[in-house]
C-alpha cells in the first residue's frame, strides 16, 4: 500500500466511522419520533445517548483524539464542524424535553433533523467517493435516519402507536425507498462498489417494503390489540434493521 500516485483500493469502512453515521441517524430519528408520538420522556435521553455513542465512535477513530476540539474551528467551510456545533444543542434540548416536554420537545426534534442533515452533507463533501458525492445522498441519509428512529420508537415506546406516528413512518419509508432507487440510478461508481451497493440494497428494500405494508395495515385494518402489538414490533424491527 502507498500514497500519492499509487493509491490502494479501500475495501472496507472503519466500523467506528460507520458507527457515527448509523448511531447519529437512529438517535436523531428517535428524538423526532418521541416528539411526534409521545411516550416515555426517557426516549429523548435514549436518542441523545445513541447520538453520543456515534460521536464517541468517531472520536475513537481519529489519530489524535485529544486534539478533537480542533473540529470546532471551521464553521464556515466544514460540515463536520457544523455537526459538532449542533451536537451540544441537541443534548441540552433532549434533556430539557425529558424534564419538561412542551416546546423543548419540538426544539429537540428540529435540532435532531439539523444534526442528521449535517451528517448527510459530510458524506456528500467526500468528493473522491462517487457513491457519496451524488446530491441525493443527503435526503437519503435524512429519510433513513427518520425511518430507523421511528422504527426504534415502535420497539421502545411501550404504548400503541398513534395514527400520526404510523403515518410519519409510512412517509419516511416511502421516501427512503424512492430516494434509494433514485440515488442508485444516478451514481457512477466502480463495478465492485456497485455490486456491494446492490447487495445491501436488497436488504434495504425488503425491510422497507415489509415495514411499509405493516404500517398501512395498522392504519387501515381493524385489528385486535394483541395483533397490533405484534405488528408494531415487527414493523419497528424491519424499519430499523433495513
Identify the band that residue 2 occupies on the pLDDT scale cut at 50, 70 and 90: low
Q: What are phi and psi of 2, to 5 degrees?
A: -155, 170
CA distances from 195 to 17, 55, 132, 211 (A): 21, 30, 15, 25
How far, rounded to the nearest angstrom, does the alpha carbon of residue 68 sit from its chain's CA centroid?
Answer: 23
Is the pLDDT at 161 greater than 80, yes or no? yes
Average confidence (pLDDT) over 105-113: 96
Going by C-alpha positions, the residue among 198, 197, 211, 196 that lies closest to residue 242 is 211
Q: What is the pLDDT of residues 54-98, one digit of tens each?
A: 999 888 777 776 776 777 777 888 888 899 899 999 999 999 999
> Residue ranges of the alpha helices (H) in the chain?
15-37, 42-61, 79-100, 103-124, 130-133, 137-156, 163-186, 191-220, 225-241
Is the pLDDT at 1 greater than 60, yes or no? no
Please report the pLDDT score of residue 10 as a whole number.
Answer: 65
Question: In terms of C-beta distances under 8 Å and separation of at least 24 residues, what long-range contacts does 15-21 make, across chains too?
Answer: 15/57, 16/57, 16/58, 16/60, 16/61, 17/57, 17/58, 17/61, 19/53, 19/54, 19/57, 19/58, 20/54, 20/55, 20/57, 20/58, 20/61, 20/119, 21/54, 21/119, 21/123, 21/141
* Cα dihedral: 172, 178, 179, 181 (round 10): 140
Is the pLDDT at 164 greater than 70, yes or no? yes
Identify the band that residue 110 occupies on the pLDDT scale cut at 50, 70 and 90: very high
Residue 134 to residue 144: CA distance in whole angstroms: 16
Average confidence (pLDDT) over 170-175: 97
Residue 86 to residue 146: CA distance in whole angstroms: 17
Burial of 147 (0-12, 13-18, 19+ CB in 10 A): buried
Residue 135 to residue 220: CA distance in whole angstroms: 35
Give Cβ neighbours of residue 114 (< 8 Å, ≥ 6 apart).
Answer: 86
Element (H, E) at 101: none
3-state secondary structure of 70: helix
Amino acid at each position: 500500500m502507498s500514497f500519492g500516485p499509487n493509491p490502494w483500493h479501500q475495501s472496507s469502512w472503519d466500523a467506528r466511522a460507520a458507527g457515527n453515521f448509523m448511531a447519529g441517524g437512529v438517535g436523531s430519528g428517535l428524538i423526532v419520533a418521541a416528539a411526534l408520538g409521545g411516550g416515555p420522556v426517557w426516549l429523548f435521553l435514549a436518542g441523545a445517548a445513541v447520538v453520543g455513542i456515534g460521536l464517541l465512535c468517531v472520536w475513537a477513530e481519529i489519530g489524535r483524539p485529544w486534539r478533537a476540539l480542533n473540529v470546532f474551528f471551521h464553521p464556515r467551510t466544514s460540515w463536520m464542524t457544523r455537526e459538532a456545533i449542533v451536537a451540544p444543542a441537541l443534548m441540552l434540548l433532549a434533556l430539557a424535553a425529558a424534564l419538561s416536554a412542551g416546546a423543548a420537545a419540538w426544539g429537540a426534534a428540529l435540532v435532531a433533523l439539523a444534526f442528521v442533515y449535517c451528517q448527510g452533507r459530510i458524506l456528500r463533501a467526500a468528493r473522491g467517493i462517487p457513491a457519496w458525492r451524488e446530491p441525493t445522498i443527503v435526503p437519503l441519509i435524512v429519510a433513513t435516519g427518520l425511518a430507523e428512529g421511528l422504527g426504534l420508537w415502535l420497539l421502545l415506546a411501550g404504548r400503541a402507536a398513534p395514527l400520526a406516528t404510523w403515518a410519519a413512518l409510512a412517509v419516511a419509508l416511502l421516501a427512503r425507498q424512492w430516494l434509494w432507487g433514485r440515488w442508485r440510478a444516478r451514481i457512477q461508481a466502480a463495478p465492485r462498489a456497485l455490486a456491494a451497493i446492490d447487495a445491501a440494497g436488497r436488504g434495504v428494500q425488503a425491510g422497507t417494503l415489509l415495514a411499509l405494508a405493516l404500517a398501512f395495515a395498522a392504519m387501515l385494518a381493524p385489528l385486535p390489540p394483541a395483533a397490533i402489538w405484534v405488528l408494531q414490533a415487527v414493523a419497528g424491527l424491519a424499519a430499523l434493521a433495513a
